[in-house]
Structure 1
Amino acid sequence: MKRAHRWPVTVAAVTFIALLAAAGLRSAPSVMMVPLEVHFGWNRATISATSAVGIFLYGLVGPFAAALMQSFGIRRTMIAGLSLMAASTFVSQWMTQSWHYLVTWGLFSGIGTGAITMVLGAAMVNRWFATRQGLVMGLMSASAATGALIFLPFLAWLTSTGAWKPVVLTVSLVCLALIPLVAFLVPERPSDVGTTRFGEAPDAPPPPPRQVADPALALKVLASASRSPVFWLLFGTFFVCGLTTNGLVGTHLIAYCGDHGIAPVAAAGLLSMMGLFDLFGTTASGWLTDRYDPRRLLFVYYALRGLSLLALPFIDFDGTSLAVFAVFYGLDWIATVPPTVAITNRAFGERDAPIVFGWVMVGHQIGAATAALGAGVIRETWGTYAPAFLIAGTFGVVAGLAALVLPARQRLAEPLPA
């Protein structure tokens, strides 16, 4: 490895690991759903409501975290998020009421994970990489599914006897262990360690100066971006992305499989299989984004995802059918992120793009929260998850068609003054 490339690769690796931990925390409620229902007697809709709050805050905090990274710093923001994640989940082992679960796993862990999200990956890629941005963003995006691959089978095994506290302790200790790693291996800027961005030309202009702390920066960027139709198209399609992934499949697939007599450990294995294939699918999506029109990529990803969800309620839920679904769906799990980030960068500029993408992520998490809560309510009302998957599949096909309306490469908004 070239000496000039050592620090960018190191920072990318540590960011990837931090995103893995956040993904592990976000996947934990799916394996705790049944144990909490049995232990406390809380119904599925009540538990799903906490998941919805956490998912929503995870998205809402994103643009403010991106703005904080420009003034307070990426490293400090990461440490603050990891600390809050570790503390809130650790305290939850003493909860006795459903509102305790809402406060610890819904409110505080939602805020903490909001600082360790895709906007962190976008900010890191823009600050440390001049080339290969799509490929690196693909790896950062795949971290969410890879986190499920690593954590879910183990977390499901911890709940195999009906226990939920071991899950709480595992997640909190992993987050705590990452704090010193970030503190020592994530410099704020390439110039702080005497290097440049990966692939940056020697005569490249200097990076923009660090912005003065402005609590309203995220809102100012939103006001500017919201005047562009492309923002609302990205926001809407990413709403569907969240609706069809972590809000529905990530939160309810294990319980849906349980309705068909499949044990939680086996169902978690399906999510892990999805994570394994998404690691390849999303990384390949980043490579493709560097080479092909991201609009057409989004059309393919959303349409195929929608069709797979429309088919799921009609399969036999045997081993072969579920394995085929897991492979097909896994390849497409978060493949939408690299082309979405690429369009955001081209439309709003590399400085404002992480904040704009943060607001696009709000749409993602609103969609995820809608599915997390709505699917739970549908299950309680209808006694089956099938309508929820059919609705989500239809939205996926519509989002694929909407992606074709996005503009090609032209700049759509002027950045805010530094």
Structure 2
Amino acid sequence: MTPLDQITGLSDEARDIAARIETFVRDTIIPYEKDPRHDMHGPTDDLVHELRGLAREAGLMTPHVRDDGTHFTHRETAAMLIRAGLSTLGALAVNVSAPDEGNMFLLGHVGSPELKERFLTPMIAGEKRSAFFMTEPAEDGGAGSDPSMMQTECHLDGNHWVINGRKTYITGAQGAGIGIVMAKADEGACMFLVDLPDPAIRIERVLDTIDGSMPGGHSVIAIENLRVPADQMLGEAGEGFKYAQVRLAPARLTHCMRWLGACYRSQEIATDYTCRRHAFGKPLIEHEGVGFQLAENRIDLQQAELMTFWCADVLDRGSRGTTESSMAKVAVSEALMRVADRCVQVMGGQGVTADTPVERIFREIRAFRIYDGPTEVHKWSLGKKIQKDWQKAQG
């Protein structure tokens, strides 16, 4: 991980916060990784509540958002979130985890003052978790990587919108206090803010998945005659996809930031293990088959960090960053998968146990290659962009 004093473009305030986050995560949060308050779907809300209490005491609750509601730059946020990611509990503790971080960004940029006061304020305070209801079950022919396939419908009934449909892979729905629900009307896609729990939003089941770092896991949801006051719609009917684009690129990139921090941690643990563990008369790291893999990790980590900061700079210049964030998502998730896999491999049997977080990080990175757009979807989108640019160049 690049030392903070070598990262350009950071204010002194942001540099100080990032340093404090690293110290807090290493000294206070990492010891909680063995805490039994985990189920197969993630940390319990009781554990999250305790960790956030510690973050408040340290003055690190939602550190990338200033007291006046403004955000630090994406570059400064990267310096903070990479360090929060050093533990799979770190981002949860300081309230920069998904989906909350992306939802806070969205509301902060497009929510009305009334919606911000009611929904955003408790999220920034770390008092309520949130969920984003967009993806739909394949068996229903619903929206996944192609949001235009959305089947969940809404219609206006007096001064309320009525929503019906099903959703899936809804991260953190179980235990969330706030939901952002996407549905389609005659005018197009719409986005609504709702209080949770609501009897009209029913969890059919919480899926058993390869990852397990997000409280509440990932749920299949049935929405049955959900009535939402008209003033809880974001913007106007038909603007839902436009607002989803506001959230899209920054949320992709913050995933890269957090999991980059986790893989730096895996590299640290694998390096320590291979320098201490001996075989065939010398430390493991002195065997080329091991040392070369850690060297390749160092290269991949550096490239992933550069890609992350490059995309952050694109966003900081005011660009929507759709293409750049696709490139970053592909490059970083694939690089980190290689890093996580090599860390497991060089640690041998120890690498597949829960004695260290290396095994857990490997599972989390495998899931990261899929959510917020699988690698193949991003490559397909980039291919279309390349073709479009070529056609434009032909005049």
Query: Which TM-score bucket, shorter chain as reference?
Result: 0.3 to 0.5
Greater relative contact order, per chain length (Cα 8 Å cut-off, separation 6+): 1
Structure showing the higher helix proportion among its residues? 1
TM-score (norm: length of structure 1): 0.34
Structure showing the higher strand proportion among its residues? 2
Find the structure with the greater CA-based Rg: 2
TM-score (norm: length of structure 2): 0.36
